[in-house]
Every structure is written in C-alpha cells, then in structure tokens.
C-alpha cells in the first residue's frame, strides 16, 4: 500500500507514515513527526530540551474494513520560559 495514499486518508499532515503491518484482521501504521523540533504549548517557542518521550498506540477509524492502530513516538518538551 502506498504511504502517501495512507497519509491522505489519515488527514494528519504533521505526521508521515514510516512503516505498516497489514494483517488479516488489522492494519498497524508507524508514524513519525515531519518536524524534528517541538513548539512549546505554553510560550510558543522552539523547545531545545525534551522532558519525556514514549511510544503510544492509538486506535483510529478503519481503512479497507480493517481496524487501524497508529503507533507514534510522543515527546514532551521542557519549557525554558520560567513564567
């Protein structure tokens, strides 16, 4: 299956599909962020330090009558603005 087609179906332009596992009962997609930097939700600045990171699996709407699971690496930044 074409990754660009899957990205169009997902409608998440901030992520790109880097892998897939198509089983008889499900579709498992591996995603990563397009940008290599994070924007702090508090100060809106570019984060230079990562506070925490982990993998997360999220269920999404079915594609081709198969349940879809999205696997992504979540990073939380440490804000340098003390306020």
Q: Which residues contact 40 (CB under 8 A, 6 or more apart)?
A: 46, 47, 77, 79, 80, 81
Range list of β-strands (E), the chain: 15-22, 27-33, 38-39, 46-47, 50-63, 66-77
Predicted local distance difference test score (pLDDT) of residue 74:
79
Q: Indicate whether 83 belongs to any domain.
A: no
Q: How many domains does the chain have?
A: 1
Mean pLDDT of 28-45: 80
Range of the domain at 58: 3-77
For the cut 60, the answer to whether the pLDDT of residue 36 exceeds it is yes
Q: Indicate whether 29 belongs to any domain.
A: yes
Mean pLDDT of 13-32: 88
As a whole number of angstroms, the longest Cα–Cα distance in the chain is 51
Predicted local distance difference test score (pLDDT) of residue 43:
77
């Amino acid at each position: 299956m074409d990754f660009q087609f899957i990205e169009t179906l997902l409608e998440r332009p901030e992520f790109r599909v880097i892998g897939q596992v198509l089983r008889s009962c499900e579709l498992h997609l591996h995603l990563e962020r397009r940008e290599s930097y994070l924007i702090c939700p508090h100060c809106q600045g570019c984060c230079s330090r990562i506070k925490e990171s982990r993998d997360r699996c999220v269920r999404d709407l079915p594609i081709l009558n198969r349940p879809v699971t999205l696997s992504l690496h979540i990073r939380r930044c440490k804000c340098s603005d003390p306020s």
